Amino acid sequence: MHLWLDHLKAVVVTSPSANVKHGLKMAPSHAFRCCKRALNWVPVLFINLVVGWSYYAYVVELCVYTIPNNAERISYLVIFHIFLAMFIWAYWKTIWSKPANPSKAFSLPRAEKELYEREERAEAQQEILKKVARNLPVYTRTTGGAIRYCDFCQVIKPDRCHHCSTCEMCVLKMDHHCPWVNNCVGFSNYKYFVLFLSYASLYCVVICATVIQYFIKFWTKQLPDTHAKFHILFLFFVAALFFISIVSLLGYHLWLVGKNRTTIEAFRAPFFTNGPDKNGFSLGFSRNVAEVFGDQAKYWFFPVFSSQGDGHSFVTRLVQIDPEQANGVLQQNGKGPADGEANPHVLSNNVQHTEDGSKEKMNGGQTVSVTIEKEQ
């Protein structure tokens, strides 16, 4: 593919006519985009073909032609279809959930944008960004301490937001771009993605657990060689291999949920004004889980949106507090407090400890006090 692109670029460069160059340059670019978008669906098509074949092998070849007992056949079909339905539901919710991107509040105002585009000095551009960022709930920086700004989307990046070159947009709380769902996994669909992995693992477990006795009977020649033999033997092997690969990925993402990290943050710690902190967003295990799955357990196992927050701002832990011990850390994130909740204030790294377990800081004559509760 890259050689094909290089060849097209060479044709554009060597063409004598400027109009011809422009036409050739635009046409391949549009054609390449269309081909790329079509090819991006190949992994999704592969998964659906595998699932479609597994459905045929299990329902027709196993349940219809191989299992002799009606009670066993019906119980297998009911269990199989329950987990299949949850798996498909979570999978397609992950695929069709549009990645959430920054709101217009993170775009530069017209005057500042014109100044930023005219300015050639990086230092002066940073001063413009800092001026705008004062009114935004942005507390992470680049490794050099600069305001994170996306030149492609022309927005100040909210905390945990990153630009996806495949989706060509900034994605809120971006975890990674997954080719198997042809979508970015981030704030809008991370819960769906974890549920997709969970139900895919359980789907494979159900297949292996119910097929294994017939797999052994075919393998040991206790059942005659029929057209079902190949499907059942292959179904067991495929389900077992998929389970091993999926459950390892699921375990990793459950660990990330417990630590309140994204895949990007696991490889590169978020950088705050006081330096990098890999546990910067961790609030303790229960709070971390609630941030992804919500605070109502009845919604945890269904692919419906229940994640906390808006994806633009996140509660951050106090650097002095062990994230696994902290139950609540309040920080002003650009949103008003909930009903009956104390008004949170921004806390920096130089918070003073007091004897009653609260934190105080003098900021321009104003005293900020926040009490930290520990998990039981």
What was the pLDDT predicted at 226? 86
Residues 225, 290 share a domain: yes
Q: Which residues pair with 164 in a beta bridge?
A: 169
Is residue 229 in a domain? yes
Residue pair 107/154 in contact by the 8 Å Cβ criterion: yes
Which pLDDT score, from 0 to 100, does residue 142 have? 94
CB 43 within 8 A of CB 51: no
- Residue 353 backbone phi and psi in degrees, to 5: -85, 140
How does the average pLDDT of the chain come out, rounded? 81
- Same domain, residue pair 194 and 221: yes
143 lies in the same domain as 283:
no
Of 259, 276, 299, which residue is a domain's last? 299
Q: What is the pLDDT of residue 314?
A: 92
Residues 146 and 214 in one domain: no
Q: What is the pLDDT of residue 180?
A: 96
Q: For the chain, list the strands marked E by DSSP.
A: 140-141, 149-150, 155-156, 162-164, 169-171, 176-178, 183-185, 271-272, 275-276, 352-353, 358-363, 366-371
Q: 8 pLDDT exceeds 70?
A: no
User: Per residue in 213-262, pLDDT tens?
Assistant: 999 999 998 888 888 899 999 999 999 999 999 999 999 999 999 999 99
Write the CA distances from 18 to 15, 287, 373, integer angstroms: 8, 60, 69
Q: Which residues are catalytic?
A: 178
High-pLDDT (> 90) share of the chain, %: 69
For the chain, the domain total comes to 2
CB-based burial, 77-92: b 16+ in 10 Å, e otherwise: beebeebbebbbbbbb
Name the more confident of 33 and 238. Answer: 238
Answer whether residue 170 is part of any domain: no
Kindly report the number of other CB atoms within 10 A of residue 211's CB atom. 23
Q: In the prediction, which pLDDT does 29 show?
A: 78
Q: Is the pLDDT of residue 70 over 80?
A: yes
Within this chain, do residues 92 and 206 fall inside the same structural domain, yes or no? yes
- 288 and 188 in a common domain: yes
pTM over 0.95: no
Domain boundary among 299, 320, 351: 299
Residue 4's pLDDT is what? 39
Same domain, 118 and 93: no
pLDDT at residue 281 is higher than 60:
yes
pLDDT at 9 > cutoff 50 = no
Alpha helices in 220-331 (DSSP H): 227-259, 263-267, 285-293
Q: Are residues 125 and 244 in the same domain?
A: no
How confident is the model at residue 376, as a pLDDT? Answer: 36
Closest of 319, 268, 287 to residue 162, by C-alpha: 268
pLDDT tens digits for range 282-323: 999 999 999 999 999 999 999 999 999 999 999 887 433 444
Do 87 and 189 lie in a common domain? yes
| pLDDT band at 28; cut points 50, 70, 90 | low
Give residue 300's pLDDT: 97
Last residue of a domain, one of 272, 299, 326: 299
Q: What is the pLDDT of residue 111?
A: 93
Strands 183-185 and 162-164: unpaired
* Planar angle of CA 272, 274, 279, nearest 5 degrees: 55
Say if residue 367's pLDDT is above 70: no
Question: Which pLDDT does position 225 carry in this prediction?
Answer: 84
- Domain span at residue 125 reads 104-157
CA-wise closest residue to 329 among 376, 338, 319, 339: 319
